Each structure stands twice: as C-alpha cells, then as structure tokens.
C-alpha cells in the first residue's frame, strides 16, 4: 500500500498531475462552456455581419448587452426586480405545494377519488395558465395577488401528478408491514409514505419551477411596478434595447441557476431513496 501511495503522489515532470476527480469535473463542464461560447460567438457574428453599427439590430449584440449591465444594476435597480420576482416564485410554489401535495396524496391513495377527479384535473391541466390572466385581474385586481394565482395554478399540476404517481408506486409490502406492526396513521405517513414519495415530489418541484419561470415574465406584465417582467416592458417602452437584451440574459441565467439548485436538492434528498433503506 505504501508503494502505491508514494507512486501515486509523486510529482509528474512539468507539473502535478490533476486528480481523477478534478479531471472528471472538468470533463463534465467543459462541453457546456464550449457550447455557450459557440452560441454567443455565433450570435455576435451573425448580427455583426447582417447589421450596420448604427442599425436597430446592432442594439441586440451580446457585447452591448453586457456593457448595459452596469447601468441596469445601478439605474434600474436590477437586484430589486430580481428579488421581487424570486419572492413571487417562492409564494406561488408554496401555495402549489400546500394544495398540490395533499391533493396528489389523496388521489393516489383513494381510487374512487382518482376516478372522480381525474377527468376534471386533466381538463384544467390542459388550459394555459396565461389564459386565466383576464379572470385573475377582474377577480383579484391588478398586483401581486393575480400574479400569485397564475403562478400557483401553473405549478399545481406537476406536483399533483408526481405525488399521486409516487403514492401509487409505493411497495405494498411496506404498507402491509406497517399495518402488521400496528403503526398509527401518523407513523405510516411519516415512515412509509413520506420517504416513498419524496423523490416524486422533488421531481414535481423541479418541473414546477421550470413552468413557473416561464409563466412569471408575462404574469408580471399585469400592471405591477417591479419584477423582471415589468423590467422587460420598461426597457421596451424606453427603447433601451441593449438593456432589454441584458434583462433577457439575466432571466435565462437565473432560470438556469434555479433548475440547477432543484437538481442538487433532488440528488441530495430524492435520487435513489428507497423506503426501508435505513
């Protein structure tokens, strides 16, 4: 063992050899970085070739969007708009969790309820959340309440369906074991159902976050005075197209980070979790 350790730790001529873990980490991220660089380069090249420097299309160059970021942060209070949008995402997701997870649990647990509600829920699921915008404004008024309703409605369905699927796929032997041990309803819920549906609920959360981020921008065009959707309209009305492009890049970057965070949570708490492992 000592000879192996000494040989593996010996320096390599011309520099130290990177560890396998470091190489594998770099090997995972470099294709994505190369893809981003290639897309941005193609974006810059096409606009540079087809647009003159003083044309409207040149305002959408990535270089001008990046150059507009400091004024967007300083003058347009970008961080305040980002915080406002993230708060709305959190509230909409929280309402969807409070309603969707219990409803999905009941649908997966009670066959008669599944048979009774499934057609209605499938019908509602196929309606675009944005089609409810006029009804939301007329019922709840202009402002945060209407936005919260649209976001919660959009996030509800993946949570309901994922939770119901998780309940239906729980191994019946664990249910029988809990009943044979005279487990109470709370013990069955906490020790059997919660671990059994955790990965499905987290999958629904990740899907819901993706839908929420798409619905957020048009939802924030309902007369609110802050948020990334509002900032899109504001930069458009001011004809600040470089700033508008910068806002679009910020929206894409934040959406990527949210999805990445959801994936990390799933890998930590959901992936590979099986009831009875502990």
Claim: this prediction has a pTM higher than 0.95: no
Q: What angle do CA 176, 178, 181 make, to 5 degrees?
A: 110
Q: Is the pLDDT of residue 97 over 90?
A: yes
Over pLDDT 70: what percentage of the chain? 79
Instruction: Tell me which of 30-39, 117-126, 130-139 is least confident.
Output: 30-39
Between 13 and 155, where is the model more confident?
A: 155
Q: Is the pLDDT of residue 175 over 80?
A: no
Token match 């019946």: residue? 172
Q: Do residues 94 and 272 lie in contact, with contact meaning Cβ atoms separated by under 8 Å?
A: no
Q: Is the pLDDT of residue 151 over 60?
A: yes
Helix axes 62-74, 241-269, angle to 10 degrees: 80
pLDDT at residue 58 in the model: 66
How many residues belong to the chain? 278
Question: What's the fold here for domain 68-269?
Answer: MetI-like fold (1.10.3720)
pLDDT at residue 12 in the model: 46
Between 92 and 6, where is the model more confident?
A: 92
Q: Do residues 84 and 144 lie in contact, with contact meaning Cβ atoms separated by under 8 Å?
A: no
Q: Where are the domains of the chain?
A: 17-50, 68-269
Q: What are phi and psi of 143, to 5 degrees?
A: 140, -160
What are all long-range contacts of 76-81, with beta carbons under 8 Å and residues at least 24 apart? 76/231, 76/234, 76/235, 76/243, 78/231, 78/247, 78/250, 80/226, 81/226, 81/227, 81/228, 81/230, 81/231
């Amino acid at each position: 063992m000592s000879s192996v350790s000494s040989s593996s730790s010996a320096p390599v001529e011309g520099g130290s050899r990177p560890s396998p873990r470091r190489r594998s980490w770099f090997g995972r991220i470099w294709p994505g970085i190369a893809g981003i660089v290639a897309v941005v380069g193609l974006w810059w090249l096409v606009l540079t070739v087809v647009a003159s420097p003083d044309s409207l299309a040149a305002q959408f160059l990535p270089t001008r969007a990046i150059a507009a970021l400091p004024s967007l942060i300083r003058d347009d209070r970008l961080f305040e708009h980002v915080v406002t949008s993230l708060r709305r995402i959190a509230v909409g997701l929280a309402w969807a969790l409070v309603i969707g997870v219990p409803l999905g649990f009941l649908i997966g647990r009670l066959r008669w309820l599944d048979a009774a509600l499934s057609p209605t829920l499938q019908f509602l699921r196929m309606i675009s959340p944005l089609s409810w915008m006029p009804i939301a404004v007329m019922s709840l008024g202009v402002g945060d309440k209407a936005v919260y309703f649209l976001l919660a409605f959009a996030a509800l369905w993946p949570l309901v369906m994922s939770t119901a699927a998780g309940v239906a796929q729980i191994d019946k032997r664990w249910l029988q074991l809990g009943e044979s041990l005279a487990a109470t309803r709370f013990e069955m819920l906490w020790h059997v159902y919660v671990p059994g549906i955790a990965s499905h609920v987290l999958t629904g959360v990740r899907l819901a976050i993706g839908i929420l981020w798409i619905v957020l921008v048009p939802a924030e065009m309902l007369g609110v005075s802050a948020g990334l959707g509002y900032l899109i309209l504001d930069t458009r009305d001011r004809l600040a197209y470089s700033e508008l492009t910068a806002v679009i890049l910020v929206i894409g970057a934040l959406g990527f980070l949210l999805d990445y965070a959801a994936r990390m949570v799933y890998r930590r708490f959901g992936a590979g979790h099986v009831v009875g492992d502990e």
